[in-house]
């Protein structure tokens, strides 16, 4: 009841404040672009120091994070998460090496080296990532830029930070040289942290270590621009307490090149990219080791990604045309073994291949000064295949043998032709008010886990529900019909942008109780052998689902020193074919921020409130959670033109709380029972310094 009163009080405050200056930012770090189509988080003045880039999304209306570990947050947007969201990193697509998304795409861009993070609000255009049924997120890391003179100039930035909740420490730097024709930059970062604290103990394991290096070069001549970028990302030991294993290592090499031509009224943009990712994980090196050595497991996986995007843009007096085609493919492998038994192995995935070839056309049109229209269409051709698999269980246990043979003897090649269509309309009724409406059809073909998981395992793209799953070679592509309505009001000292949305998804891919007797027998036999009580496995199947809700962001500027801003989010996700809710959907939440600014310093106070979540999935045995409120404070001081110092305290009152999206504990821990929901971090005092030259 207390949580409900808090949410209602904040809602009343949000809608009763007098209105603010046109063009003001919603937050210091968030810029509202033309037509309110996306939110952009600029990292230059960002005070948060979480190593998880996805945590920044909590500053965006409609967004949240499924937390599986300190580096393994999976973005959620309006109830959808993971592979349903399209990600772009420095213009490149990337598919994780971890079949449980221990390395989600945003983990390859640490906040310390980010320039900006863009989130398309609501329906994403067809010209951004290929499959965006759940939204689109674009990230860009720090690099040099061209100057306006022939003389080379040097610039750089050095960042260091420390925090108390996990004794975390970060050191990051960039140096660059540039003139009007060339630029080159080198960036490096190292960060680490211990197991995080909460008011009742520690979250085990939640330590982490990561290093990242990046080199880029650019050349410009007349209307031609060429750039090339190489990144090396190395993650050491890192905990993922909601999953069955922890990160032993990640090593990734990322490459991309870009060519741009600016003509008279038209432009060409071509990108070529690829990455080679390797990953190892175990259930014994960070968390307490299984007493029975036959239960020790390590899993080595890899992902090879490659692709390109070519698009042309033509501008005229009425708007812009964009036409392009793109391609992205990934090959995933996974091998599970036991270091105590060289005879044991399981080929989780063997050359699981997925490729998407797309073509798109998009038009933005202006009708006088009052109407703007965006229409677009995209066709994606998706091909998937996998090689035959094997494993020790399939050689010794009849149920596993039956599952292996069913998979190997089946037709493992499949293809989908998917159509996306988008239409958005803005009507500017006055200088202060613009009305918005959007409709779309969006599609997504199954992931390689959903299609090719042949043995009951928990390699499910980070669902972290404790169930084992099997894939389904007969899955259909998801097809969503979306509608959203809203308005953008910018009046005097006040701006507000609410959005109502509804999404109906046909053939939504969801785990449901399996009817495969071999899978049921295998799990029961493993329970008897290992003295465990794992539930019956689920199988990925097509069901029907719907999502609906409301998200709002607003700001009120009192004067040149004081401002107030906030977010309000509500989403409901449920099955429409049976009476059940969808798993791991964010509860209603609000953020209220007070800012005080002077010429060279500022203070910031933030109240975050989450309601209880009672709409939980019965099929996934999801538990309800109670609501909570947190208070955070921070500030910064510009010591010199080049040096800025920042500090703050998260969870000032050291509240004990459980984030509904954080998941359940899977590691033995004297402070949190196995199967219990993880606690959020306790009070965290942090310091940060930025030096530029």
Of all residues in the chain, the percent with pLDDT exceeding 90 is 90
- With a CB cutoff of 8 Å and minimum separation 6, the contacts of 401 are 394, 395
What angle, 0 to 180 degrees and rounded to 10, lies between the N-to-C axes of helices 398-409 and 517-530? 140
Query: H or E segment at 4?
Result: helix 2-16
Instruction: Judge contact between 11 and 590, C-beta under 8 A.
Output: yes
- The larger pLDDT score, comparing residue 323 to residue 6, is at 323
What pLDDT band is residue 45 in, cutting at 50, 70 and 90? low
- With a CB cutoff of 8 Å and minimum separation 6, the contacts of 97 are 103, 250, 252, 277, 278, 279, 301, 302, 303, 332
**Which pLDDT tens digit goes with each residue over 431-465?**
999 999 999 999 999 999 999 999 999 999 999 99
The 3-state secondary structure of 248-310 reads EEEEEEEEEEEEEEECCCEEEEEEEEEEEEEEEEECCCCCCCCCCHHHCCEEEEEEEEEEEEE
Q: What's the domain count of the chain?
A: 1
Which residue reads 């290929």 in tokens? 130
User: Looking at the DSSP assignment, which residues form a beta bridge with residue 88?
Assistant: 138
The 3-state secondary structure of 138-154 reads EEEECCCCCCCCCCCEE
Which residue reads 């390109």 in tokens? 308
**Which pLDDT tens digit goes with each residue over 168-195?**
999 999 999 999 999 999 999 999 999 9
Domain that holds residue 457: 2-692
Radius of gyration of the chain (CA): 25
In this prediction, residue 6 carries a pLDDT of 38
Q: From CA 147, how far away is CA 151, in angstroms rounded?
A: 9
Q: What is the mean pLDDT of the chain?
A: 93
- Name the pairing type of β-strands 414-428 and 643-650: unpaired
In this prediction, residue 411 carries a pLDDT of 98
Q: Which of 36-50, 141-155, 504-518 has the highest mean pLDDT?
A: 504-518
> Is the pLDDT reported for residue 7 higher than 80?
no
Q: From CA 305, how far away is CA 130, in angstroms rounded?
A: 14
- With a CB cutoff of 8 Å and minimum separation 6, the contacts of 217 are 182, 183, 184, 227, 228, 229
Q: From CA 133, how far away is CA 123, in angstroms rounded?
A: 8
In this prediction, residue 636 carries a pLDDT of 95
Query: H or E segment at 451?
Result: helix 448-452
The full DSSP string for 632-651 is: EEEEEEE-SSSEEEEEEEES
What pLDDT band is residue 9 in, cutting at 50, 70 and 90? very low
- Name the pairing type of β-strands 197-198 and 114-120: unpaired
What pLDDT band is residue 530 in, cutting at 50, 70 and 90? confident
Residue 71: CATH number of its domain: 2.40.170.20
């Amino acid at each position: 009841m207390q949580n409900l009163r808090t949410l209602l009080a904040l809602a009343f405050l949000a809608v009763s404040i007098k209105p603010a200056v046109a063009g003001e930012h919603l937050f210091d770090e968030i810029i509202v672009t033309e037509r309110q189509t996306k939110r952009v988080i600029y990292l230059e003045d960002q005070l948060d120091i979480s190593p998880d880039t996805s945590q920044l999304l909590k500053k965006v209306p409609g967004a949240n994070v499924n937390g599986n570990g300190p580096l393994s947050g999976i973005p959620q947007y309006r109830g959808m998460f993971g592979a349903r969201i399209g990600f772009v990193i420095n213009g490149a697509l990337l598919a994780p090496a971890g079949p449980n998304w221990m390395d989600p795409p945003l983990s390859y861009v640490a906040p310390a080296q980010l320039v900006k993070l863009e989130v398309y609000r609501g329906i994403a255009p067809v010209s951004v990532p290929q499959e965006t049924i759940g939204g689109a997120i674009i990230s860009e890391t720090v690099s040099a830029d061209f100057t306006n003179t022939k003389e080379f100039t040097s610039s750089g930035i050095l960042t260091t930070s420390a925090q108390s909740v996990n004794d975390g420490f970060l050191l990051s730097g960039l140096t660059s040289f540039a003139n009007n024709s060339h630029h080159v930059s080198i960036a490096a970062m190292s960060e680490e942290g211990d197991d995080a604290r909460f008011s009742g103990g520690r979250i085990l394991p939640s330590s982490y270590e990561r290093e990242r290096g990046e080199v880029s070069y650019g050349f410009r001549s007349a209307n031609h621009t060429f750039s090339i970028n190489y990144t090396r990302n190395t993650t050491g030991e890192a905990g993922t307490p909601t999953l069955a294993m922890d990160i032993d290592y990640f090593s990734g090499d990322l490459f991309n090149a870009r060519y741009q031509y600016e003509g008279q009224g038209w432009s060409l943009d071509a990108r070529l990219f690829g990455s080679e990712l390797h990953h190892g994980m175990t259930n014994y090196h960070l968390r307490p080791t299984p007493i029975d050595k036959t239960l020790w497991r390590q899993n080595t996986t890899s992902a090879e990604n490659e692709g390109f995007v070519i698009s042309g843009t033509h501008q005229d007096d009425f708007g812009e045309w964009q036409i392009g085609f793109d391609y992205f493919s990934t090959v995933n492998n996974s091998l599970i073994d036991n270091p105590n038994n060289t005879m044991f192995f399981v080929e989780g995935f063997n050359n699981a291949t997925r490729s998407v070839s797309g073509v798109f056309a998009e038009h933005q049109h202006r009708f006088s000064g009052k109407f703007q229209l965006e229409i677009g269409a995209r066709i994606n051709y998706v091909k998937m295949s996998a090689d035959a698999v094997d494993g020790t269980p399939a050689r010794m246990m009849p149920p596993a043998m039956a599952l292996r043979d069913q998979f190997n003897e089946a037709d493992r090649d499949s293809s989908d032709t998917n159509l996306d269509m988008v239409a958005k309309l803005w009507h500017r009724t006055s200088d202060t008010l613009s009305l918005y409406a959007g409709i779309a059809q969006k599609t997504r073909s199954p992931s390689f886990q959903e299609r090719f998981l042949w043995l009951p395992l928990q390699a499910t793209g980070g669902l972290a529900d404790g169930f084992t799953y099997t894939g389904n070679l007969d899955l259909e592509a998801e097809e969503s019909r979306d509608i959203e309505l809203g308005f953008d009001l910018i009046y005097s000292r006040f701006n507000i942008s609410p959005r109502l949305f509804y999404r109906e998804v046909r053939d939504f891919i969801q785990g449901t109780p399996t009817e495969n007797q071999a899978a049921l027998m295998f799990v029961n036999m493993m329970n008897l052998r290992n003295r465990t009580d794992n539930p019956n496995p689920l199988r990925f199947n097509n069901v029907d689902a719907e999502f609906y809700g409301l998200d709002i962001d607003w700001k009120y500027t009192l004067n040149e020193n004081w401002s107030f801003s906030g977010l309000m989010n509500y989403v409901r996700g449920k099955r429409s074919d049976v009476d059940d809710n969808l798993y791991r959907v964010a509860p209603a939440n609000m953020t209220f921020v007070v800012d005080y600014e002077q010429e060279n310093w500022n203070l910031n106070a933030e109240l975050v409130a989450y309601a209880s979540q009672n709409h939980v999935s019965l099929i996934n045995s999801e538990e309800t959670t109670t609501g909570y409120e947190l208070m955070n404070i921070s500030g910064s001081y510009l010591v010199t033109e080049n040096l800025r110092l920042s500090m703050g305290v998260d969870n000032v009152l050291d509240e004990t709380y459980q984030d509904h999206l954080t998941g359940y504990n899977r590691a033995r821990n004297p402070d949190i029972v196995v199967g219990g929901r993880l606690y959020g971090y306790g009070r965290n005092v942090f310091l940060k310094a930025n030096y530029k030259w």
